[in-house]
Chain A
Amino acid sequence: MFEIRIHSRGGQGGVTAARLLAMAALHDGKYATACPFYGAERRGAPIVSFVLIDDKPIKVYSQIRQPDMVVVLDESVMDVVDVLHGLRKGGRIFLNSPVNKEFAGFECKNVDLTGIALRENLVVAGSPILNTPVLGALAKMGVITADSAKKAIREMLSDEHNVKAAEAAYKEMSA
């Protein structure tokens, strides 16, 4: 089972990102569970959501303690939350940032999703939409296939800019 923890702030679409990721995994012929952690969440507060992907039906409902991968949609949460907490040795990190960071013992990739969202005019209520471009980045990292990512986005959202943003993120990520 591949376990992903997504860090974002309320209103940035971390929960939708988890849903899209689960949909894409389903298109890849896999099983998936997407769980937002529900508490007293509010706009702007740091939140986490989880995605589990496996080849067989998923029976786990308890929270992920040792994710294989951490996705950080908003770098600023790193000031207040230890996003590496529990990350498995050799685990992977995706960072929404124009600049990559080094984390000893982990593999970190980055793309400027915010910049892509702004370029594609993906802005809702003043916030750039990050949950569709992030699928392109995760496709490049091999978590899901690019075709399934696009299929999932098109199923949920009619604005084709979302697909373009995902394609841009896929291209912009360094190999």
Chain B
Amino acid sequence: MKKIATGNKAVAEAVMQAAPTVVAAYPITPQTEIVEQIAEFVTSGRMPAKYIAVESEHSAMAACIGASITGVRTFTATSSHGLLYMHEMTNWAAGARLPIVMANVNRSLGPGWNIWAEHTDALQERDTGWLQVYVSTVQEAYDATLMAFRIAEHHDVLLPVMVNLDGFLLSHIMQPVDTVELGDFIPPIHLPYAIDPKHPAGYGTLTGPDQQFKFRWEIERSMRDSVKVIEETEKDFAKRFGRKYGFTEDYRCEDADVIVIAMGTLGKEAEVAVDLLRNEGIKAGSMRIRWLRPFPKLDLKGKEVVVIDRDYSFGFGGIVAGEIRSKTGISLYSVIAGIGGQEVTYDDIAGFVRTRRIGEEFWFGVNAHV
């Protein structure tokens, strides 16, 4: 059924359909609408879940961990400082191999106090063992949330999944969303090592130097195995519901000389810039990174690359640019733009491509050039 919804409402709708047993959450701008809507679904009887209103995000993740370890489907949502406050527990969730799904509405970090879009919050969770997907439309927020449950709970994965959507630019705008009849797309959850009072076992016990690395390697092995699970899930989603997704969304890349890479809404707006550049005779393409973890294999041989980072690692550079450089070995033009919701138009993106200086970094709106 087609309707008009905000990104937040679309995520809540998908969660309602995926029917987790437990939702534990704490409100934070610009995510609040997700958990408000879920709370409404629960109180109105449309969603037979236990909704736990906790006193902090740390507790939200802890409650999800406690629920998940009993083998039930769990969900939470957060943003920015809320995500950072969870950080100890996000590591625990992945380490304990719990397939928790979380929506993170990407927002800048204070100070200065800023509630607008930026990816640095989620990227600070990069090394925790969570799978991370970044979406670019309200429809994709809905679709990715549905798929996240199936991917997380797959026995070859059993890792938590974070669905990232840009604060306000996606969380609060309204677009058409086509909801699906889910059917058996998400199989019932079965956690192989769920707590069972009939078979007592130890959880989170002391793990010595002869064992810890094995648990860590198991996370990495599952991260690698998740690649085919993601591919299968997205393929089945396309077959059932007609919408195709991949590790990246490539637009006019085949014959391109220069490729713009970005995540989230900037990656979608870049497609408009590509059309402008093509009209000027510049053979441009756009490659929107959807899955940051596991990191996709990128074929960028023979292309000039412009990466737009809506994030930064101080003393290093744009985080996504750094990831791409380290995985592909290419030299690229690194643009830092959109921090804290900074306005970036398709004209601006086209400008980054026209004036690219491969090997250099450029902060949009800052005069000093590094």
Q: Is B73 part of the contact surface with A, judged by Cβ < 8 Å? A: no
Q: Is A33 part of the contact surface with B, judged by Cβ < 8 Å? A: yes
Contact between A36 and B269, CB atoms less than 8 A apart: no
Contact between B173 and A35, CB atoms less than 8 A apart: yes
* Shortest CB distance A17–B (Å): 12
Set of chain B residues within 8 Å of A57, measured between Cβ atoms: 137
**CB-nearest residue of chain A relative to B29?**
A38
Q: Is B271 part of the contact surface with A, judged by Cβ < 8 Å? A: yes
Q: Is B151 part of the contact surface with A, judged by Cβ < 8 Å? A: no
Can you list 12 A-B pairs, Cβ within 8 angstroms, ordered by A? A18-B174, A22-B174, A26-B176, A32-B176, A35-B172, A36-B172, A57-B137, A59-B271, A61-B268, A62-B269, A62-B343, A62-B348
Q: Is A106 part of the contact surface with B, judged by Cβ < 8 Å? A: no
User: Per-residue 0/1 for B294-325: is the Cβ within 8 Å of any A Cβ (1 yes, 0 no)?
Assistant: 00000000000000000000000000000000
Whether A61 touches B269, Cβ cut-off 8 Å, given contacts A34-B4, A38-B168, is: yes
Set of chain B residues within 8 Å of A35, measured between Cβ atoms: 172-174
* Shortest CB distance B345–A (Å): 4
User: Per-residue 0/1 for B148-179: is the Cβ within 8 Å of any A Cβ (1 yes, 0 no)?
Assistant: 00000000000000000010111011111000
Contact between A33 and B175, CB atoms less than 8 A apart: yes
**CB-nearest residue of chain A relative to B173?**
A35
How far does the alpha carbon of A61 sit from the alpha carbon of B30 in the complex, in Å?
17
Pick from B3, B137, B345: contact of A62, CB under 8 Å: B345
Query: How many of B's residues come within 8 Å of A, CB to CB?
Result: 25
Set of chain B residues within 8 Å of A121, measured between Cβ atoms: none
Extra inter-chain contacts (13) besides given A35-B174, A61-B269, CB under 8 Å: A19-B174, A23-B3, A32-B174, A38-B172, A57-B137, A61-B170, A61-B173, A62-B269, A62-B343, A62-B346, A62-B348, A63-B343, A65-B345
How far does the alpha carbon of A63 sit from the alpha carbon of B169 in the complex, in Å?
10
**CB-nearest residue of chain A relative to B137?**
A57
Contact between A32 and B173, CB atoms less than 8 A apart: no
Q: Is A58 part of the contact surface with B, judged by Cβ < 8 Å? A: yes
User: Per-residue 0/1 for B250-281: is the Cβ within 8 Å of any A Cβ (1 yes, 0 no)?
Assistant: 00000000000000011011011000000000
How far does the alpha carbon of A26 sit from the alpha carbon of B174 in the complex, in Å?
11
Interface residue range, chain A:
20 to 34
What is B's interface to A at a CB cutoff of 8 Å?
2-4, 30, 137, 166, 168-170, 172-176, 265-266, 268-269, 271-272, 343-346, 348
* Shortest CB distance A88–B (Å): 16
**CB-nearest residue of chain B relative to A35?**
B173
How far does the alpha carbon of A58 sit from the alpha carbon of B269 in the complex, in Å?
9
Contact between A60 and B269, CB atoms less than 8 A apart: yes
Set of chain A residues within 8 Å of B269, measured between Cβ atoms: 59-62
Contact between A58 and B175, CB atoms less than 8 A apart: yes
How far does the alpha carbon of A87 sit from the alpha carbon of B147 in the complex, in Å?
42
* Shortest CB distance A22–B (Å): 5
Chain A residues numbered 19-37 whose CB sits less than 8 Å from any CB in chain B: 19, 22-23, 26, 31-36
Pick from B4, B169, B172: contact of A22, CB under 8 Å: B4
Interface centre among A26, A38, A63, A65 (most CB of B within 10 A): A38
How far does the alpha carbon of A63 sit from the alpha carbon of B348 in the complex, in Å?
12
